[in-house]
Structure 1
């Protein structure tokens, strides 16, 4: 008898992104008559409402009000283009723990954000757990407007509230030979239906070098649009790395480990030929299944050219000057 054993990177066909969305070679079945084009890179813009019809029907339902979070805007980081509409940035999200569509904001309401603590482990002076509210007493919040670029070729510009990741490094007091930070996100089977998809290598893990963590752009976000983070955007605390593809910016962080070994992150474990460790943005390096030369702006659906390092080269290009043999842009 032949027994098929699932390999670690396989996912069922029903969860694969439709070819029409990725490659833009044909309109979505049943949508063309209504004037709705596909949403992937390379197509003419469609009405903003189209994205909601594609992923669940109709415009998103109103969300619960969120607590205000005041912080002075740092003018050094202005995003370089108009802000994305808050409704779009908070209802069009990837959060696979809650589902594989973009419309997970309803399911994500179940995310248990209080109480919350972050374990600081590995090669640090004193491994410990820090309550979220205690961590907030040790940092100064600011607002930064960053461009966010998804590997799927859509983009948004968001006013994030948070603090430099370098501040967490300082608080953790890593040992001198620590080379990497490994971020582990919440995995709660009671509230996260996506965790029951066993072919995924849960929990979600991402990593950066300690040099990247100490770069001034690396940011830990606890709010957006002047309010606390909504669950679907990674409440109560998430990583924000604007020069990298969005999957590197881990959400709902529960552990930060300092180590001398490079981590094998979530998407690398699924398909390392498509999703590498560095994942820096570069329009000249296509994804194996679509171009990265352009990106679609949430809200307007305007197609604009992608910038290398997502436009943040002056801040970060020097981090990679001596990594000639590394696959930096995928």
Structure 2
């Protein structure tokens, strides 16, 4: 008798949230949103939403969302790159539970009028949460479609009033070798650092995510807060952010330091620019058999191509 082995990316059927259950939960959260207000005008779940996995009102997908079939929850949460927990795709879901995320704060620093350590409940604004269904394309050649819960990064940036010298935004991930086992090895130069040009950071597509599928962001997916830049390869969407720094000089990201010939600062999805070790022309959508053609800018060129007008995208890869 032949038993077909289960692929790591296929997940388990019992892990997938049935669509009717997902919709019913969303309706319940909308109905409950009206009673979750404090005297100060912020939802009472401002502190509880992230660790406890509950959201109030979430605006429906906007014009940037794709209508493609969503990758099942079980696959999204068990097939990840998060080297802080190991290089295997299942390592994050196996070990990320060890990472403490409460309390959490984000340090805002650099070229801005307002800086300091900002508690997460102040950094995020739950009443502004919205759902964005974005494609996520990994440089290794696989992709997903994920319903994120979050808010535009530009809304946060405006609150800290960057100065005219702020040309870039640099992000840093938590450094906690005791609980993030991958950081005990020299896989990369820790802590993980990424960056965006200011016009990329303030583009309406760029999202700070605190959840997916209507639930709080799982630790293996970058809890409690991560970046999502859908037209770039997945390694740009930094996880578990603890610092946001406004800089005049272009940041040197972690992968640029590790392998500059393979990973550039821009990391725009571009099938015309191959990775030194493999082609980027096709991708494997998790949950599907076979491969599909890769779209330039991951299919978001209509909104972001003008950001790079006049640039040589083979040189600025």
TM-score range, shorter chain: 0.7 to 0.9
CA distance in 2, matches of 1:83, 1:62: 14
Q: Would the aligned equivalents of 2:137 and 2:143 in 1 still touch at CA under 8 Å?
A: yes
Residue 60 of structure 1 and its aligned partner are, at CA, apart by: 9.6
Partner of 2:242: 254
Partner of 1:303: 291
The partner residue of 2:84 within 71, 85, 97 is 97
The partner residue of 2:228 within 226, 232, 240 is 240
Partner of 1:323: 311
Moved over 4 A (4+): 33-36, 58-63
CA distance in 2, matches of 1:75, 1:127: 31
Pairwise CA RMSD? 2.2
1:82/1:59 CA distance change after superposition, 3 Å: closer
Q: Would the aligned equivalents of 1:229 and 1:236 in 2 still touch at CA under 8 Å?
A: yes
Q: Would the aligned equivalents of 1:139 and 1:163 in 2 still touch at CA under 8 Å?
A: no
Q: Is 1:73 the counterpart of 2:60 in the alignment?
A: yes
- Which piece of structure 1 moves more, 99-108 or 71-80? 71-80
1:169/1:326 CA distance change after superposition, 3 Å: farther
> Residues 216-295 of structure 1: matches in 2 within 5 Å?
216-295=204-283
CA distance in 1, matches of 2:78, 2:171: 24
Q: TM-score, normalised by structure 1?
A: 0.80
Bigger share in helix? 2
Residue 79 of structure 1 and its aligned partner are, at CA, apart by: 1.8
Residue 126 of structure 1 and its aligned partner are, at CA, apart by: 2.4
Q: Is 1:132 the counterpart of 2:89 in the alignment?
A: no
Residue 327 of structure 1 and its aligned partner are, at CA, apart by: 2.6
Gaps of 5+ in 1: 1-32, 37-48
Gaps of 5+ in 2: 17-50
> Cα deviations across residues 123-177 of structure 1 (Å, max 9, x unaligned)?
0102211111112238611100000000000000000000001011101110112
The partner residue of 1:172 within 146, 149, 160 is 160
| SS state at 1:87 partner | helix
Aligned residues between the structures: 280
Residue 287 of structure 1 and its aligned partner are, at CA, apart by: 0.8
Q: TM-score, normalised by structure 2?
A: 0.83
| SS state at 1:91 partner | coil
Partner of 1:146: 134
Residue 199 of structure 1 and its aligned partner are, at CA, apart by: 5.0
| SS state at 1:319 partner | helix
1:327/1:80 CA distance change after superposition, 3 Å: farther
CA distance in 2, matches of 1:61, 1:271: 39
Partner of 1:86: 73
Partner of 2:174: 186
CA distance in 1, matches of 2:171, 2:127: 19
Q: Is 1:112 the counterpart of 2:69 in the alignment?
A: no
Q: Would the aligned equivalents of 2:12 and 2:74 in 1 still touch at CA under 8 Å?
A: no
1:227/1:108 CA distance change after superposition, 3 Å: same
